Structure 1
Amino acid sequence: MSLSIDSSSQVLENGYEHVELLSGNNDEHEGVMVNMEKPMDSKVFLTALRASISLWRKQGKRGVWIKLPIGLANLIESAVKEGFHYHHAEPDYLMLVHWISESTTSTIPANATHRVGIGAIVMNDKRELLVVQEKSGKLKGMGIWKIPTGVVDAGEDIFKAAVREVKEETNIDTEFVEILGFRQTHKSFFEKSDLLFLCMMRPLSFDVQKQELEIEAAKWMPFEEYTAQQIVEKPGFYKCITDICLAKVDGDYIGFSPRLVKSSFTDQLSYFYLNEQDSNSS
């Protein structure tokens, strides 16, 4: 539970008499979260920040987070001069953080390290694979046919992202079946690591219409024709896709499907991916 810190508190020592402190909330890790909302002169902010840090140190606080909306960018320099550094940024705000404890080592968590993506295997009853050619990126102009891929949006479940991406790129409606596997790579988008989940999908419609913005071409391709591509025949990621696809279609490979679960500590719901068949038989 967050506890509000009174912004009208007075610090009467170290030259901060009658200074109005910054308003913040205690977090769960003995830190303080300050959400700046109202415009403030940078000099006034600097004085208030110094006084607030002095008080928070006496209270045993460890880290201080300052969330600055883009409209208060004038306060960034003052915060940085007091020891704050950038933690992460979103389109409408910048998050700054500073470890103020002088007796303990910083435990401030790093910003998110991974981006999550999906690859969608969609095969019809004619043993044709839904494939696309991209208009941009590394594969632009190479004539390579690949499965639809995309990035999971913030707050979006993996299986919903797979349905959305296939629809956006090809106009094909699909039903999520299961996750067949995933790949982890590093130093990808802005030096972040990358997780790509390979999803098996069941087509619900069949009339392909490519997305004009990102997709050069899209179609149903006989699976044997897809696997005959030089890049697919070579050992690597594309070969892994075909191998696991065959294991699913022609074998008894079982992937992971989502089960809705509730947190043990809150009422928050989430999805736990597991092998339903083997878990139910055990």
Structure 2
Amino acid sequence: MAARGFVCGLLPLMRGRFCSRTSCPARLAVRAFSCTANRSQLHRVEGTGALTGKVDRFGGVTVNLDDVGLPADISESLFSRLLQDSLVQWKAEGKVAVWLRVPISLSRCAAAASTHGFTFHHARHDHAVLALWLGEGESRLPGFATHQVGVAGAVVDESNGKVLVVQDRNKTKNAWKFPGGLSDPGENIGATAVREVFEETGVRSEFRSLLSIRQQHNHPGAFGMSDMYIICRLSPLTYDINFCTQECLRCEWLDLAELAKTNETTPITSRIARLLLRGLERGFDNIDLTMEELPAVYSGMFYQLYHRQLPPALKS
């Protein structure tokens, strides 16, 4: 406060007498005061280890500004410098993304982050989450979820009883599972299954039926929201595998009987493998929930209804 008062006292005395842009004593005093304040803030921040965060299994880092020890009065410019230094380090470490959780009390830090390419991902209650993709190519960060819909495709070759399975590269436990991913807004379940299977394995397929739905709340991959995981039965149109090495560690056509009994899989995959074996033995009409498009009463649009097949006489 004393320095601020000194500067304010100098301003009327110096106005009109020493006002060159480079040598005005008032300007020099203000600049010196500003630099002193920034050095003080920087010292306090550097004592906390600057910006640190938690690294996730996908190679991203999450920084919660509530937890890193920033001064409550940190300036936008100083935070920008800290963030810039951190980004250099994260890029050198090969991190693919940064999630920045900004409390509303430090919202000026969001403005500083935007100058480095961060964009808003979502906001809830007293904080906002910004994101920055650091990896190669277009961003592969998921959109914000209210209810997340994941879809997998069980591509069954009925001629030999084999099914297409993958092992995710980014999983801590590399278990066999059906290829799949998140459904895009406005995308039908069957279309998601076909698209994700092709993107992960290079195999083209067509939708046949819905096999199962799993519901899970507070899902760790859905930002604490609810998750719906749907498995569809698909038929192969091609058979050659050309899997995505960025997402998959392995990809194979595996015997359904082997998948049903191996320990190198997930409980849901094992259960669906046994369900598919039943379909091969007794007919898929015993396990399928088929899809039919019906007109919506009020909007005039169409929706997709999934259910066990009815005899033709009962459909009308």
Q: TM-score range by the shorter chain?
A: 0.5 to 0.7
RMSD after superposition: 2.6
Which of 278, 291, 299 is matched with 1:247 structurally? 278
Amino acid of the residue matched to residue 186 of structure 2? G
Q: Contact (CA 8 Å) 2:216, 2:226: kept in 1 or not?
A: yes
Provide the residue aligned with 1:206 in structure 2. 239
Taking a change above 3 Å as real, the CA distance of residues 224 and 255 of structure 1, as seen in their structure-2 partners, is closer
Provide the residue aligned with 1:119 in structure 2. 152
Q: Within 2, Cα distance between the matches of 1:112 and 1:93? A: 10
Provide the residue aligned with 2:312 in structure 1. 280
Provide the residue aligned with 2:168 in structure 1. 134
Q: Contact (CA 8 Å) 2:151, 2:183: kept in 1 or not?
A: yes
Q: Contact (CA 8 Å) 2:164, 2:254: kept in 1 or not?
A: yes
Q: Percent sequence identity over matched residues?
A: 27
Correspondence 1:150-229 to 2 at 5 A: 150-188=181-219, 189-229=222-262
Structure 1 residue runs without a partner (length 5+): 1-75, 78-90, 98-110
Q: Cα deviations across residues 95-146 of structure 1 (Å, max 9, x unaligned)?
A: 899xxxxxxxxxxxxx96421111211121221111111110343xx3x222
The count of residues paired between Structure 1 and Structure 2 equals 175
Q: Within 2, Cα distance between the matches of 1:130 and 1:167? A: 11
Q: Within 2, Cα distance between the matches of 1:203 and 1:163? A: 10
1:202 Cα deviation from its structure 2 partner: 0.3
Taking a change above 3 Å as real, the CA distance of residues 243 and 267 of structure 1, as seen in their structure-2 partners, is same
Structure 2 residue runs without a partner (length 5+): 1-103, 106-118, 126-143
Amino acid of the residue matched to residue 154 of structure 1? P
Q: Contact (CA 8 Å) 2:293, 2:302: kept in 1 or not?
A: yes
Q: Within 2, Cα distance between the matches of 1:94 and 1:132? A: 31
Q: Within 2, Cα distance between the matches of 1:203 and 1:242? A: 17
Amino acid of the residue matched to residue 195 of structure 1? M
Q: Within 1, Cα distance between the matches of 2:245 and 2:176? A: 16
Q: Contact (CA 8 Å) 1:182, 1:196: kept in 2 or not?
A: yes
Q: Within 2, Cα distance between the matches of 1:228 and 1:254? A: 20
Look up the SS of the partner of 2:310 in the other structure. Answer: helix
1:251 Cα deviation from its structure 2 partner: 1.9
User: Runs of 4 or more off by more than 3 Å in structure 1?
Assistant: 91-97
TM-score (structure 1 length as normaliser): 0.56
TM-score (structure 2 length as normaliser): 0.50
Look up the SS of the partner of 2:294 in the other structure. Answer: strand
Q: Within 1, Cα distance between the matches of 2:294 and 2:188? A: 13
Q: Contact (CA 8 Å) 1:127, 1:222: kept in 2 or not?
A: yes
1:254 Cα deviation from its structure 2 partner: 3.5
Which is richer in helix? 2
Q: Contact (CA 8 Å) 1:231, 1:238: kept in 2 or not?
A: no
Q: Contact (CA 8 Å) 1:179, 1:199: kept in 2 or not?
A: yes
From the CA coordinates, give the structure whose radius of gyration is larger: 2
Q: Within 2, Cα distance between the matches of 1:115 and 1:209? A: 28
